[in-house]
Structure 1
Amino acid sequence: MTENATTTRVLLVDDHALVRSGVRTELTRHAPDLEVVGEADDVDGAVAAVHALRPDVVLLDVHLPGGSGGGGAEVVAACAGMLDRTRFLALSVSDSSEDVVAVIRAGARGYVTKAITADDLAQAVRRVAAGDAAFSPRLAGFVLDAFGTGATDLAVHDDELDRLSAREREVMRLIARGYTYKEVAAELFISIKTVETHVSAVLRKLQLSSRHELTRWAAARRLL
């Protein structure tokens, strides 16, 4: 996020004008801290807009015309040198493992489907802007294909998992899969405050600093 700014600057990338209009309207209505600074409808336009506008977060569809046919993943890859400043969050109707893995491997911070609510989308944008991961429930497991390790590596890290209590492991798996604190609380029949406490404990015990790191840690150990 821009230094001393109170808003997160968002670029919308989708080849359907109606979708862009709808997302813009919903974010304006539900998240005044998120400012839509531009739009693009194809790969080439998106890459140009990212470099020109330097947004905090790019919300992009994975299926886009133009470029060499790589869609959203091609946009992310073409902006690889900017990933420390601009973060990418895929927003797509597709929930296929191929699409998820391709865009995450390219460097995106998360992937949510268009079935997401406006409030949850706003939260996902905020998490990605902060450097965390954001996934629709059940999609985070697909990153196993990109970050999987062998059985030998898994055994080496068993001691790290043993640091967590049974409840902390449950919370860790759900958070790593992209569940919100509210969704975790509902799933486990505990309070949101308790979820927050468990997440803090998990990150501290595993010496991780963000949800994004936690997702990659869990994926590498095939815990999702």
Structure 2
Amino acid sequence: MTDADVGGRACRVFLVDDHAVFRSGVRAELGDQAGIEIVGEAGSVAEAVAGIGRAEPDVVLLDVHMPDGGGVAVLRTVLADEAGPTFLALSVSDAAEDVIAVIRAGARGYVTKTISGDELADAVRRVADGDAVFSPRLAGFVLDAFARAAPGPEERGEPVHDPEVDSLTPREKEVLRLLARGYTYKEIAEELFISVKTVETHASNVLRKTQQSNRHALTRWAQSRHLD
């Protein structure tokens, strides 16, 4: 892949930022770059989710802080599907909690808004190629931040309270774990000594209580909570 070409075409980029003036500036900077095509933009989480679905971009340039949930909300919603674009965070913030949050949510890189137009175009090309990209001063910081991260409740042996997990019955949790491991309904029925119809009922309840739309999304949800 050269000049951000994806399968012989220009790399399709979608902009997400709640400041219209900033989006205009990014469009102007990237519009002059070879092999990059701006296919849409959004100023809110809802607009971003809908717009990304319509435009089907290769790369999303994502602001971290927005009034209605921010970049993490966009990542979690869009990446719940089986396939999605590559996300590159573009933010004024270099705070540890912001960097860690968007990377954990699925972003492929994080650059600050002090970046030049040429550097941003190069970052887009690199994440489209599968690289992880960070602003120079953030690269070492990200590694250090994860290394220094305090252990969470699970590592400390403390109970983790998750309303959606807590809403599941013990049997529903058993079905969820087996679903996340790739078991078929028939295999789950045999494993738990229940009927396939009962498995289907439990699976339907699990999807409803966890607000997941399909088995693939449910598997990602379970893995994110170490329930698989």
Aligned residue in 2 for 1:101: 100
Q: Deviation of residue 77 (structure 1)?
A: 1.1
8 Å Cα contact 2:14-2:57 kept in structure 1: yes
- Counterpart CA distance in 1 for 2:82 and 2:123 is 17
Letter in 2 for 1:93: V
Identity %: 55
Q: Deviation of residue 81 (structure 1)?
A: 3.7
Q: Deviation of residue 147 (structure 1)?
A: 6.7
5+ residue gaps, structure 1, are 151-224
Q: Deviations over 1:73-131 (max 9, x none)?
A: 11111111457541000001111111111100000000000100111100000011111
1:1-224 equivalence runs, <5 A: 4-29=7-32, 31-66=33-68, 69=69, 71-82=70-81, 84-140=83-139, 141-146=141-146
- Counterpart CA distance in 2 for 1:83 and 1:2 is 23
Mean Cα deviation higher: 129-138 or 83-92: 83-92
- Counterpart CA distance in 2 for 1:133 and 1:115 is 19
Letter in 1 for 2:104: R
Find the residue that maps to 2:41 and give its secondary structure: strand
Distance 1:25 1:130, change over 3 A: same
Distance 1:107 1:143, change over 3 A: farther
8 Å Cα contact 1:105-1:146 kept in structure 2: no
Letter in 2 for 1:22: G
Q: Deviations over 1:157-184 (max 9, x none)?
A: xxxxxxxxxxxxxxxxxxxxxxxxxxxx
Q: Deviation of residue 42 (structure 1)?
A: 0.6
Find the residue that maps to 2:137 and give its secondary structure: coil
* Structure number, greater radius of gyration: 2
Letter in 2 for 1:35: E
8 Å Cα contact 1:9-1:34 kept in structure 2: yes
8 Å Cα contact 2:78-2:84 kept in structure 1: no
